[in-house]
Amino acid sequence: MRNLKVTMAFRGTNYHGYQRQNNAITVQEVVEGAVSKILNSLVTIHGCSRTDTGVHAEMFCFTFQTENQIPLRNFVRGINGYLPDDISVLSCEEVPEDFHARFSCKGKTYLYRIHCSESKNPFATDLALHYRRPINIELMKEAAAFFVGTHDFGSFCADCSKKKDTVRTIYQFQIEMQGNDVRILVKGDGFLYNMVRILVGTLLDINEGRIKVSELEEIMAARDRRLAGRTALPHGLYLHEVYYDSI
């Protein structure tokens, strides 16, 4: 039995997230259909992460097992012929039997894109958050630095009622402005449900004066979602990189 690790990228606009659902089209459903056609057998794939409706991925990994001996390059070429234009398989490699796209993951980097202008960008309406207010980059960097390190992020989780462990480590929280566009990169060992979108939303609330940087310590300690900022819209979020060897 071969265990294959596949890396792909997708534009999440047309999908209700990654994970298969009974009443909506998802990335997993579409990809499984293409893999099954290539291998001429029903295949279940195991993704590295769950993504919400409208969220994108520049690097997303999944694994699956098969007896089929198709050459790896032929698999990549063949499956891309069956996939729609908003999903692309980038590579495929054979990995040890115990390797799992999700459970073997050491960490991830997420990207959040913001277009800051009074006028919307017609070329990025579903690829970046349109934000009309002025951005105080230095203030947002000051706030972002607070999140770096190991903390209990219970206040920054959409639904942690069933989560026993809400402690995560953020290794890097980088904010840069390029013209009218802001790129926010968050690198960590793991993320709670909606965590990155809530962190970004909190930064936007700080930018608007709704929350003060000095209040972040109290918000973090409270483990109360109601105290943190808004949940930023999903279409600005990308799974940017996935780490398996080290982070």
User: Which neighbouring-strand residues pair with 173?
Assistant: 186
Q: How far is CA 198 from the centre of its chain?
A: 13
CA 137, 138, 139, 140 torsion-angle sign: positive
DSSP state of 143: H
Q: Is 189 labeled as catalytic in the residue annotation?
A: no
State how beta strands 129-131 and 107-116 pair: parallel
Q: Which has the closest alpha carbon to 31: 66, 65, 6?
A: 6
Q: Which one of 52, 85, 86, 152 is the catalytic residue?
A: 52
CB 172 within 8 A of CB 98: no
User: Which neighbouring-strand residues pair with 130?
Assistant: 115
**Residues classed as catalytic:** 52
